[in-house]
Amino acid sequence: MSFSVSVRVASVGLVALLFLPFLAFAADDCAFTRTLSEGDVGDDVRCLQEFLNSAGFTIASTGAGSPGNETTTFGSLTAAAVLRWQQDANVPGANGNFGPASRTAYAADGGSTVAASDEASRLQAVVATLQAQLESGLPVADAQPLATTPVPQVAGVSDSRGADAQRLLESAARMLRDTEEQVADEDDEDDRQDFEDDLRDVREDFYDALLDFFDQEYNEAEELLQEVLDDATDVFEDAGGESDASEAEEAIDDVEDLLEEVEELIEDAEDDDADVGDAPDLVDDAKDLIDDAKDAFADRSYRQALSDVYDAEELLEEAADEIDVVTRMDAIREVQDQWDEFDDVEEAISDAEDDDEDVDQAEDLLDKAERELKRADIALDDEDWTEAMELAKEAEDLLEDAEDAIGRSDDDDEDEAEEALEDAWDEYEDVKEKIEDAEDDDEDIGDAKDYLRAARNLLNDAEDELDDENFDDVLDLVEDALDELEDAEDEL
């Protein structure tokens, strides 16, 4: 065969021309991790539309959403197509939203209802047309409509060897497509040319593998396709991309670490006679999914591996929630969140200072929050997750106060404290009058007087703190007094 021309005219869109509309949609094509419904936007919506169109539940016959024109927006036409698919697949609670039950049915269905033999026949027709066209020297853009091309049958593609080869063919095609797009985004012209040179050899191997596949020489095809997949992945990553393979491998490592942590958590909780709820059962289910992810990874179904990992991670988080203790993951996440918030508040204070606003109080509170977060970091190092969580929460309160204090002076704080205390005394008098009226009417007042007395004591303490100019303490005491007054009213 002569593919010298093909190497020269192949463009970034060549693999997409060959495969995107024609390859069978495999179960690892879409890694759905959220419920999709009308109004949602994202690449997972486009993937869902591609699946529906390939499975015979067409979004639209022409325009947006039609085969080859899928969009990232979940509209009414997508919802209608999802509903038709749900009804056909007997998805429980079919309503047009693509939720957990739909994801389960999607995975169980293998991601498609399109027969592999039909897709292989279509693909063979595409390759036959492309080969003749390239050998004639015509540019790819002048391709004749594929509908006019005879569709020869490929016997045996549905047997196990052919099916394995076709799955590898799809993976190699998609990896090559993603690599070409990654290379096209390279800004440095010299680097881009180097990547293109590497891709030229990959493409030639890919075309040779296609011919082997259609000659039903599946062993030879798989060997070449494996080289294409590995070489394309190398170029993709050299060009700055993160391949599905590396992402899946990293995700599997992370979820295994999480599994180990949750298992240790369960063991420690059981040793302390703490309630672990359904955590052991959830962990067992997560282990099964991790095994499935490893099998999918071995089969190079990387997106399916990622989907299984995400499901396992969700189960493990649910398992951790079942245990009545603070997890390492919870503590680390909370401390990191508050350090991020610290950076935001620090920047806000700096901006306010540049605008000549009063930031003295805000800076004092920020310093206190920083001390709490440093103590939280030490607690993490000591693996004291509960202490780290508590310190992070204290830092959160201080950061909120610091943000509120931007632009405020001591006079502002004094005015706020005095106003709050005055309002609280007014509320005290109102509740006291209600209690006296209830007594006059011989109504049951329960413990209302006890709560009223507690509120009065708190307000008196607040008066003392106001005299000492401890304005934050005044506000705290007023808040506690108002809680007591609310309890007193509830008793009436």
Q: What is the mean pLDDT of the chain?
A: 79
Residue 98 phi/psi, 5-degree rounding, is -95, 90
Whether 89 and 131 map to the same domain: the answer is no
Domain boundary among 114, 149, 179: 114
CA angle at 450 for the pair 448 and 452, rounded to the nearest 5°: 70
HSE of 468 in the Cβ direction (CA atoms, 13 Å)?
10
Between residues 14 and 167, which one has the greater pLDDT?
A: 167
* CA distances, 177 to each of 17, 105, 109, 122, 210 (Å): 10, 28, 26, 19, 15
> Where would I find the beta strands (DSSP E) of 385-491?
none
The tens digit of pLDDT for each residue in 432-459 reads 999 998 888 888 888 899 999 999 999 9
Let me know whether 282 and 337 are in one domain.
no
User: Above 70 in pLDDT, residue 154?
Assistant: no
State the Cα–Cα distance between residues 4 and 125, nearest whole angstrom.
20
- Whether the Cβ atoms of residue 286 and residue 315 lie closer than 8 Å to each other: yes
Phi, psi of 306 (to 5 degrees): -65, -40
- Cα–Cα dist 10/4, whole Å: 10
Q: Lowest-pLDDT range, 67-81, 302-316, 404-418?
A: 404-418
Tens of pLDDT along 98-152?
Answer: 987 888 788 766 544 333 344 444 444 445 444 444 444 443 333 333 333 333 3
Domain check: are 14 and 154 in the same one? yes
300 in Cβ contact with 168 (< 8 Å)? yes
Provide the domain limits for residue 265: 244-322
Write out the DSSP string of 387-418: HHHHHHHHHHHHHHHHHHHTT--HHHHHHHHH
Q: Are residues 363 and 295 in the same domain?
A: no
Same domain, 169 and 234: yes
Using CA atoms, how far residue 56 sits from 18, 61, 154, in Å, is 20, 11, 22
Largest interatomic CA distance in the chain: 107
Evaluate if residue 155 carries a pLDDT over 80: no
**351 alpha carbon, distance to own chain's centre:** 33
Q: What is the pLDDT of residue 18?
A: 45
Task: Name the one residue in this structure whose structure tokens are 């020269």.
Answer: 8
Neighbours of 216 (CB within 10 A): 16
More reliable by pLDDT, 374 or 2: 374
The more confidently predicted of residues 19 and 187 is 187
Domain match, 85 and 175 both: no
Instruction: Indicate the residue among 383, 405, 427 that finishes a domain.
Output: 405
Residues sharing a CB contact under 8 Å with residue 56, sequence separation 6 or more, in sequence order: 113, 114
Nearest alpha carbon to residue 392 among 338, 464, 312: 338
Cα–Cα distances (Å) from 408 to 136, 345, 362, 403, 472, in that order, read 79, 15, 8, 10, 13
Which residues have a Cβ under 8 Å from the Cβ of 215 and sit 6 or more positions away? Answer: none
Instruction: Give the orientation angle of helix 160-184 with respect to helix 116-135, to 10 degrees.
Output: 50
Token pair of 30 as six digits: 């879409």
Closest CA to 31 of 335, 311, 299: 311
- Same domain assignment for residues 318 and 334: no
Answer yes or no: are the C-beta atoms of 471 and 414 closer than 8 Å: yes
The CA R_g of the chain, rounded to the nearest whole Å, is 33
209 and 273 housed in the same domain: no
Rounded Cα gap, residues 391 and 406, in angstroms? 23
Does residue 220 share a domain with residue 80? no
Phi, psi (deg, nearest 5) at residue 36? -105, 130
pLDDT tens digit sequence for 318-372: 888 887 666 777 889 899 999 999 999 999 999 998 988 888 889 999 999 999 9
Secondary structure (3-state) at 274: coil
The answer on 229 and 205 residing in a single domain is yes
Count of structural domains, the chain:
5
pLDDT at 219: 87
Among 220, 238, 256, which residue terminates a domain?
A: 238
Query: What are the two backbone dihedrals, phi and then psi, of residue 72, each rounded to the nearest 5 degrees?
Result: -100, 10
pLDDT in tens, 71-103: 888 998 999 999 998 888 888 778 899 987 888
User: Is the pTM for the entire model greater than 0.75?
Assistant: no
Residues 58 and 133 in one domain: no
357 and 334 together in one domain: yes
> What is the tens place of the pLDDT at every residue in 228-269?
888 888 888 888 887 777 888 889 999 999 999 889 888 888
List the structure tokens of 195.
Answer: 């990547």
Q: Residue 21: pLDDT above 50?
A: no
